[in-house]
Amino acid sequence: MKVTEGYMNFLDYQTYYRIVGEKSDKAPLLLLHGGPGSTHNYFELFDELALDGRQIIMYDQLGCGLSSMPDKKELWHAETWLDELANLRNHLQLDELHLLGQSWGGMLLIKYMCDLKPKGIKSIILSSTLSSSALWKKEQHRLIKLMSQEDQEQIAYAEKYNDFNQPEYLAANDRFMLKHAGGIPNELSKEPLRRKKNRGEQAYLYAWGPNEFSPMGTLKGFDYTKQLKEIKVPTLITSGSDDLSTPLVSKTMFDEIENAKWELFGNSRHMPFVDEEELYMTILKKWLNEND
């Protein structure tokens, strides 16, 4: 498969992108990664979709990965990444396309659809994401109540005193993320998952917060639930049964989007395309072909 890498000038910085496959009569799929600051790495699992004759495009959002990582706290808000997305689409001349956003990337996709009302969108895929930071926080704390009493107490202490550095809290948070986010890659994991990430820690901290259940940054007030009805394009919602994006979070989006389908993966956490890769790719390929 042909892989093309490049950079786009954005603000005073550069945004890295990676294109797999050739242009064809099938609309390309543009992938928006999570975080903020998670990098595109895991999306390289989607390369196989290009074997179906569809161009797959991914990029590292400003503040992480192979893109510029400026030490500027004032950049880390949704408008920065929204402008970057709009500029990238124009730069790559993506007149018609499908869009998939995972986790924070799904929040960005929702904002893009509601705020900019872009033309030429064949379909969107909201992968393990959310429309409301407040609902997300509420659901994470419900999941915390399923943990051991000791872990609950360590997390409660960290939140009460705004101290997220104690080893006992860090261990509890690791157990929470293992249960609901994903496992630690090992020698059996595929290379993109094992590859060291250039994480955007500043972007994550100032846009979201110190962990998944304490949104304290610029995205704290994110709530597009009422605007979801403005999304009219075919929408596929995907999530896992043990996902940070709980069934309630996913159903909230499903209930508000008129032309939506929801696939719940029964053996997955926050990345069904990792935990149930073959099934996820089969469903996604079918969805894209049906909505070209």
Q: Which amino acids are annotated catalytic?
A: 103, 243, 270
Question: How far apart are alpha carbons 244 and 174 in whole angstroms?
Answer: 13
| End-to-end Cα separation, the chain, in angstroms | 22
Chain Cα centroid distance, residue 66: 17
- Strands 260-265 and 56-59, sheet pairing: unpaired
What is the enclosing helix (H) or strand (E) of 228? none
Q: What is the C-alpha to C-alpha distance for residues 133 and 162, in angstroms, rounded to an integer?
A: 19
Nearest to 239 by CA among 120, 86, 146, 130: 130
CA distance linking residue 211 with residue 221, whole number of Å = 16
Q: How far is CA 270 from CA 89, 131, 199, 266, 285, in A?
A: 26, 16, 18, 12, 20
- Exposed/middle/buried for 196, CB within 10 Å: 0-12, 13-18, 19+? exposed
Which pair of structure tokens corresponds to residue 92? 């790559």
DSSP codes, 185-210: P-TTS-HHHHSPP---HHHHHHHT-S
Residues 6+ apart with CB under 8 A from 126: 101, 106, 109, 110, 235, 236, 237, 238, 253
